[in-house]
Structure 1
Amino acid sequence: MPANAQPETPEPVGHPNSKSLGIYIGHELTADGSTLVGGFGHEPSSHWIEIVPRRSFPEDATMKVGVTDAARIPGELTTIPQARQTAKYITSNYSEFAGFPPPLTNGGLNEYGVAARDIWSPSRQELVDIAKQNAPQSGPNYSDLARVAMERATSAREAAALVGRLIDEHGFSTYGGNSHLFADSEEAWVFINYAAKGLWAAKRIGPDEVRVMYPGYIHAFPADFKQRDGYMGSDNLVSFAREQGWWDGEGSLNLQEVYGKPFPADVEQDYYPQFYADARNPVAREAELREMAPVSVKDLMAYVRDPRWSTDFTGYSQVAHIRPDAPKQLHTLWTAITSGITTPFVPIPIATTSVPPEFSQHRYMTKNASSHFLDPDYGPLEATRYATRTFKRLLYHTCEHPSDFLHPVTGEIERFETGLLAQRDDVEARAKALLADGKTDAMQRLLTRDVHDNLLASLNLGQDLVQAVEQQTRTKYGIRMPEGERAAGETTPATSQAMARHGWGAMIHCYQKELDEYPRPHGLYNDSPDLTY
């Protein structure tokens, strides 16, 4: 390339690969000595809560992994051995990412108190080019690896080692680079999956540290990592960097400089609103969270729903609460079924056996759902309200006029969450008493009933808030209709029209700089004027 030439910007397919947020707060920096893991997924598809039970498989069982030829970097599906016994875990599943077979997951929380988040981490362009040149690719994709970690890992360290071993043995199907955050009650491990050559690295993060992966990254990494505790990596991690001339062989490697991209990546400034691009700087976010210490569950919920990143692109939100002195049945995943900006977090302990139908998968936003009539077996499920749709409606109405509605809606939601937090000691005391008496089934029924009641109460609140905000919007502004004409069969304006008005980074969001100081503490808007509903 001539010295004065500009690198070509690749044509994006949908939105660029800037997905998901992962946050780890070590137990020495939290208000109650627990480990906290927060974040969200970033996907435009149907979302639902899944409680996956413990399962047993025959000795020769396999699981299908990988991507299809429809992926951005084409691949082929293969199989890997399945574990004989898998762990129970709670997750948020979703239905669509190009060429990645559903259902997809970014992690969650398992019965051993291991939390996992999957986060975008773009590799340098040369590695992406190598992956494309060697297509079709094969091996587990990011969702396969997150699922295996949830099914098999009893600690964060074991999760990192397991994922690395799977890549070594079976390869990795990438969309351009990825990362994982694994945590337990003692520590966390950051794991980076680079886009080609089976390259991977993992680093321990201690209980006195904060890590924000937005995107996922590792900076300093010793060249002799195999002789050091707290580091893992592929056999070629150091040698390949030196062969390519990306590292001079002196001192430690800065893996983000050697194998990754600068963050926030310059090219993304063209796609997204400036506030959103600026927010994706993990070092700056880590400094904010360190200043907040000691961090509580409600602090992290408020941080995950911060308008700087909680937008329509946020598919769901989670905060895992891992306490070293709690029975494993009470490890809890606080879950917002869609974007936390207008969705309450509800606590789901590991002992829970189910969620209401309203929080299970529905046809809304599920690929190809419009191509056929409903299977009669699914009629009763589809007859229920769909929580994702309700809270999406609340997001769209609230973000249309955030100066009118964001603070009141946030206040109502956080008052609801404060009530849930106040109930936890009593609910858990009753659960512990049942456990002490050996009444495990009764304990599970108690917690499952509590989860059902709380989720349905959150949905009722969401429905009331939608009605109130919509009514006030109609009265004060009317309902704004889209510009231009729709292409035949499309639910959005023709792509060329949308591009002309918004560009690739068009998103619905509630951010207004003049509205807030950031970060926003939980409960800041509890005194906001009530919405009439």
Structure 2
Amino acid sequence: MSSLSVTLTAAVLLASSQSSWASYAFYVGKNLTEDKGVLVGGTGEEVSSHWLEIVPAADHKPDATIKVGVTEAAYLPGQLIDIPQVAHTFRYLSMSYSDYEGFPAPLTNGGINEHQVAVRDVWATNREELIDMTPSPQQGPQYSDLARLVLERAKTAREGVELIGELIAEHGYSTYGGNTHLIADPEEGWIVWEFAGGQKLWAAERLGADEVRVLYPGYIEDFPLDYQQNPDFMGSDNLVSFAKEQGWFDAGANAPFNVFEIYGRQDTRARTGGYKYMTQAALEEAAKEMAPVTEQEMMARVRDHRIADDEAGYGQVVSLKQGVDADLVRIWVAPTGSVAAPFLPWWLGVQQVPLEYGQHRYLTKGAAASFLNPDFQIQEASDFAGRRFKQLMYLMCEKPAVYRPVVTDMLKGFEQASFDDMAWLENSAETLIDQGQRNDAQALLTFYANSRAEKAMDLGETLVDWLHASLALSAGLRRPEGEQINDPGGETVNCLVDADPDKPQDAQ
């Protein structure tokens, strides 16, 4: 991969609480990828612990319901409601987490289901006037509910978009100030923007085979006024009329209906607003110049140290291709910020996740105020992947110029060993399935995935011990000078400490 210089933009973090934990999403259309699959990548940005879940398909009783929404503790207070469950929900994989103020756990930013519908959730703050209109209490599914419901119910990306529209129309929408979802399948992607204000407003734009999109924040720009007759766009019936009523759009001015400029945050711009150290525009151009993009190159985008800091709870990369058996649907997941953790292969045919990758009390909401549930004592007694690779991040970011390149090479080498096994492993599993031995194929995938996950823990332990010893024997272990271990609102741990974010660097 050739070196690519991009201009960095200094971080402009929003003042409101909802901006501190956001999430990235990357989309690359199938005509721009090496394997002709739609590539989706991303990272979730939340403080709390993250753990891997493979949720089986399930049948539900006719009167079954699920609880959705937010509580009175949310930034914009809400009220939980029950909505009907469907008769059957699909198998899916996601990273769950435990805490966002007023949003009941477990939460998810998305994942992938057995029909190769992938979902990524990304913040997209709305204009203040719209946020101020939000009723109190608000009601309806929130961002995590929508991501999970799409994974459970949608067979295509388009179905996922339509589902979100139907849910909002029937039940409303609970928000922290505006949100987007990237929904993709082997043919296309969609950006869905759900708006605050209690007006049941939403808009969606199709992403085709020759497009690249990076969301941070999520955005939709020019939108046709006849969107309801255009197969590349969808939205609520009142999307344009409400903007006219508020005086935010004048149809006679010959200006395009720009969704970001009309409904988005008014003191910034789409693509070049300048969040973290690379704009969406810079990241999109970097991906285009890499075409045809591979899974490993997408990993490099997600891992970029200007993105994957301490706020990144995990990393995900998936290539969506037609004709893949449900058990062989594969996604690469880094158990915490991928700048300091390897991407591991998981398949929906995996029957069991190692204890080390399940839920632990480290950074889990409520852990400091309660004792352990005895049912979890053995899982809690195991090492925790999230904690192990957080240790690695904190050590490597002490001397990023020295340690980050070495750690990155080690992680990439570990991942290459996994990639080297993909052909024989997946061919073997596919042969077993074709011969009617699906249980054996699932056992093979489970054994391999668990083995690589265990070896990743060994690698993490080795790197932690090495960096700890290196620091101790060279500069000595730095002691804290402050009295507050929790972040008082300053810079979080990252591998750009003491770097100049305005100085161009190579995106590799």
TM over 0.5: yes
Relative to structure 1, the CA distance from residue 263 to residue 322 in structure 2 (aligned partners, 3 Å threshold; closer, same or farther) is farther
Match of 1:261 among 250, 261, 265: 265
The answer as to whether partners of 2:21 and 2:311 remain within 8 angstroms in 1 is no
The answer as to whether partners of 2:21 and 2:46 remain within 8 angstroms in 1 is no
Q: Does residue 1:170 correspond to 2:150, yes or no?
A: no
Question: Percent identity of the aligned residues?
Answer: 43
CA offsets 1:241-293 (integer angstroms, 9 cap, x no match): 11111111135410000100258579x99xxxx8x6342x2223211111110
Q: Does residue 1:233 correspond to 2:235, yes or no?
A: yes
The answer as to whether partners of 2:19 and 2:123 remain within 8 angstroms in 1 is no
CA distance in 2, matches of 1:509, 1:457: 25
CA offsets 1:436-494 (integer angstroms, 9 cap, x no match): 101111111110111100111111101110110011011112221222324xxxx43xx
Aligned to 2:369: 371
Relative to structure 1, the CA distance from residue 110 to residue 470 in structure 2 (aligned partners, 3 Å threshold; closer, same or farther) is same
CA distance in 2, matches of 1:89, 1:207: 24
TM-score w.r.t. length of structure 1? 0.89
**What are the equivalent positions in structure 2 for 1:40-51 lying under 5 Å apart?**
40-51=43-54
CA distance in 2, matches of 1:117, 1:264: 23
TM-score w.r.t. length of structure 2? 0.93
Residue identity in the other structure for 2:163:
L
Matched position secondary structure for 2:397: helix
Matched position secondary structure for 1:341: coil
CA offsets 1:196-247 (integer angstroms, 9 cap, x no match): 2111001111011111111111111111111111111011100011111111
The answer as to whether partners of 1:116 and 1:146 remain within 8 angstroms in 2 is yes
Residue identity in the other structure for 2:177:
G
Relative to structure 1, the CA distance from residue 296 to residue 264 in structure 2 (aligned partners, 3 Å threshold; closer, same or farther) is farther
Relative to structure 1, the CA distance from residue 187 to residue 393 in structure 2 (aligned partners, 3 Å threshold; closer, same or farther) is same
Aligned to 2:126: 123
The answer as to whether partners of 1:223 and 1:251 remain within 8 angstroms in 2 is no
CA distance in 1, matches of 2:288, 2:267: 20
Of stretches 36-45 and 242-251 in structure 1, the one that deviates more from structure 2 is 242-251
Q: How far has the Cα of 1:433 moved from its partner?
A: 0.6
Matched position secondary structure for 1:23: strand
Matched position secondary structure for 2:276: helix
Q: How far has the Cα of 1:505 moved from its partner?
A: 4.5
CA distance in 1, matches of 2:214, 2:319: 17
Of stretches 282-291 and 96-105 in structure 1, the one that deviates more from structure 2 is 282-291
Aligned to 2:338: 340
CA offsets 1:82-138 (integer angstroms, 9 cap, x no match): 11100000100000000000000011010001100000101111111111xx21100
Matched position secondary structure for 1:161: helix
Q: Does residue 1:186 correspond to 2:182, yes or no?
A: no
Q: Does residue 1:29 correspond to 2:42, yes or no?
A: no
CA distance in 2, matches of 1:304, 1:516: 19
Q: How far has the Cα of 1:350 moved from its partner?
A: 1.6
**What are the equivalent positions in structure 2 for 1:285-296 lying under 5 Å apart?**
285-296=283-294
CA distance in 1, matches of 2:266, 2:465: 44
The answer as to whether partners of 2:58 and 2:88 remain within 8 angstroms in 1 is yes
The answer as to whether partners of 1:23 and 1:211 remain within 8 angstroms in 2 is yes
Residue identity in the other structure for 2:296:
K
The answer as to whether partners of 1:91 and 1:107 remain within 8 angstroms in 2 is yes
Match of 2:117 among 114, 119, 122: 114
The answer as to whether partners of 1:40 and 1:316 remain within 8 angstroms in 2 is yes
Aligned to 1:217: 219
Aligned residues: 489
Matched position secondary structure for 1:400: coil
CA distance in 2, matches of 1:469, 1:263: 43
CA distance in 2, matches of 1:377, 1:479: 38
Matched position secondary structure for 1:342: coil
CA offsets 1:476-533 (integer angstroms, 9 cap, x no match): 12221222324xxxx43xx7xx4xxxxx35211012469994321xxxxxxxxxxxxx
Match of 1:247 among 246, 249, 273: 249
CA distance in 2, matches of 1:118, 1:49: 17
Alignment RMSD, CA only?
2.0
Aligned to 1:153: 154
Of stretches 289-298 and 249-258 in structure 1, the one that deviates more from structure 2 is 249-258
The answer as to whether partners of 1:47 and 1:92 remain within 8 angstroms in 2 is yes
Q: Does residue 1:69 correspond to 2:72, yes or no?
A: yes
Gaps of 5+ in 1: 1-8, 499-503, 521-533
Q: How far has the Cα of 1:404 moved from its partner?
A: 1.6
Relative to structure 1, the CA distance from residue 283 to residue 262 in structure 2 (aligned partners, 3 Å threshold; closer, same or farther) is farther
Gaps of 5+ in 2: 1-12
CA distance in 1, matches of 2:84, 2:256: 36
Q: How far has the Cα of 1:16 moved from its partner?
A: 2.9
The answer as to whether partners of 2:42 and 2:120 remain within 8 angstroms in 1 is yes
CA distance in 2, matches of 1:333, 1:157: 21
Match of 2:494 among 509, 512, 516: 509
Matched position secondary structure for 1:414: helix
CA offsets 1:178-213 (integer angstroms, 9 cap, x no match): 000000000001100111211100111101111111
Relative to structure 1, the CA distance from residue 244 to residue 505 in structure 2 (aligned partners, 3 Å threshold; closer, same or farther) is farther
Aligned to 1:518: 506
Higher relative contact order (CA 8 A, sep 6+): 2
Match of 1:439 among 425, 437, 440: 437
Residue identity in the other structure for 2:237:
D
